[in-house]
Amino acid sequence: MSFLPISLNLAGKKIGLIGGGQVAAQKLKSLVRYSSNICVVAPEIVPEIEANPAVQCIRETYQPKHIDGLFLVFACTDSPEVNAQIQADCESRGILCNRTDDAAVSGFHSSALIETDDFVAAINSKNKEVKKTVLLSQEIEHFIREREQLLKQKEQLAGKVYLVGFGPGNPNLLSRRGEQLLFQADIIFYDDLLDHEFLARYRGEKHYVGKRRGNHSKEQDEINEVLYQAAQSGKMVVRLKGGDPLIFGRGSEERFYLEERGILVEFVPGISSAIAAASLGNIPLTHRGIASSVSFGTAHGKSSYKIPNSDTAVYYMGASHMHEIATNYLEQGYPDDYPVGLVYKASFPDQEVTRTTIGRLSRREIVAKSPVIGIFGNTVNYGEILKMKK
C-alpha cells in the first residue's frame, strides 16, 4: 500500500471540485465540515451545491487556470479524459488531485470519517472497497459514540464492584455489557483461563487472582478484601470471572462480603462453561424424547460424586476425578455403556470433544484433560438414538 493516511491542515487553504454533479455534491458533504473555502467548477451545477453558502460556484468548462492557487483538487467530472487532464495539470503544479473515477492513480484518497466532540477517526480501504469501508465506519462510529456516552456516565460508577461473567474463555462470547464495563474500569481482577492478550486492550490496572488446583494466587478471603479496598478508594472495579459469576463462581460470596461493608455490587451474567461446552461440543443438555432435565455439579469433593436425579448431569472442574464419578455411576447400577461426553477447553481453538462411556472412563481407558466439562447422559449420543428410532 503506497497511500499514507494523514490529517491535513486546511486553514487558509482553498479546495477545488471540478464537476458539478451528484459525485461532487457527495464529496462536498464531508468537505464543508472542515473548510468554507471551496470552489466548484462546472458548466452545470446541481442546486444542492449552489445552495451551499460555503461554496463559490464557477459555471465554466474546465480550464487549467481554474486550479491555480488550489491546495487540493477533486476531479469529479463524468469524463475520464477530462479527469485525466485535471490530474496531469495538478501534477505539473505540485497540487494533490483525487480522481473519483480512478482511485488507483489518484494523488490522495478521501477517508470515511467518524467525528465526535473530542476527535476524528478516518477509515481507509487498501483496495478502495467503498461499501465495506462505509459499513465498517458506521460500525466503529456506533461503538465510539456508545463508549463516549458510557465514559460520561462513569462518575456514577466509582466505588462500585461489577461481578462480570467472561464466559468460557473465547472473548467473542463475552457479553456486550461486560465489554462496556471493561473499557470503563479503573481496575480489573481476573480469573484463570481468561485471554491475557484480549485484556491488554483495556486501560484499567489488571490483577490476576485466579485459582487452579493446587495453585491459588489468592485465597477467597484475600480476593474479597482486595475488591473491597479498591472500591472503597473510589475506583470502578470489575471482577472478571470465567463462565457465569453465580455458577460455581463464588459471586454470591463476594457480593455478600462487599454489601455487608456498604459497597454497591452488580452482577453481569456470562455464558456458563457448561452451556458453551454443550453447544460447541454438539451435545444437547435436553432433547425431546431423550432428556427433559439437567443438573450441574462440581467434582472437587466426594459430595460432588453423587448421582443427581436428572436425565443429564454436567460436572465442572473435575478432570482428575472423572473416573471416580464414572465408577459411582456403575455402582449405582448404570450400564457400562452409559454415555459420557468430555469437552476439553470449550470455545478455545484447541477444543477437543471426546465421546466415551462410564465403563471406559472408570477403567481409565480414557483420561480427562484439564480444564474439562463432563456431560453424563443419553443426549451425548442423541444422533445415534434418533437413527435407531427411525
- Written as tens digits, the pLDDT of the chain (390 aa) is 578 888 889 999 999 999 999 999 999 998 998 899 999 999 999 999 999 988 999 999 999 999 999 999 999 999 999 999 999 999 999 999 999 999 888 999 888 778 777 778 888 777 667 678 778 888 888 777 777 776 666 668 678 999 999 999 899 999 999 998 998 899 999 987 677 788 999 999 999 998 665 555 688 999 999 999 999 999 999 999 999 999 998 999 999 999 999 999 999 999 999 999 999 999 999 999 999 999 999 876 655 567 889 999 999 988 889 999 999 999 999 999 999 999 999 999 999 999 999 999 999 999 999 999 999 999 999 877 777 776
Phi, psi of 34 (to 5 degrees): -125, -10
156-271, CATH topology level: Cobalt-precorrin-4 Transmethylase; domain 1 (3.40.1010)
Look up the CATH architecture of domain 1-110: 3-Layer(aba) Sandwich (3.40)
Q: CA 279, CA 201: separation in Å to the nearest integer? A: 28
Cβ-contact 307, 201 below 8 angstroms: no
Residue spans per domain, the chain? 1-110, 112-152, 156-271, 282-389
282-389 in CATH: which number?
3.30.950.10
DSSP 312: E
Contacts of 107 (CB under 8 A, 6+ apart): 87, 90, 91, 96, 97, 98
214 contacts 139 by C-beta, under 8 angstroms: no
Q: What values do phi and psi take at 382, rounded to 5?
A: -60, -30
- The amino acid at residue 240 is L
Cell triple for 321: 476425578
Residue with cell 471416580: 324
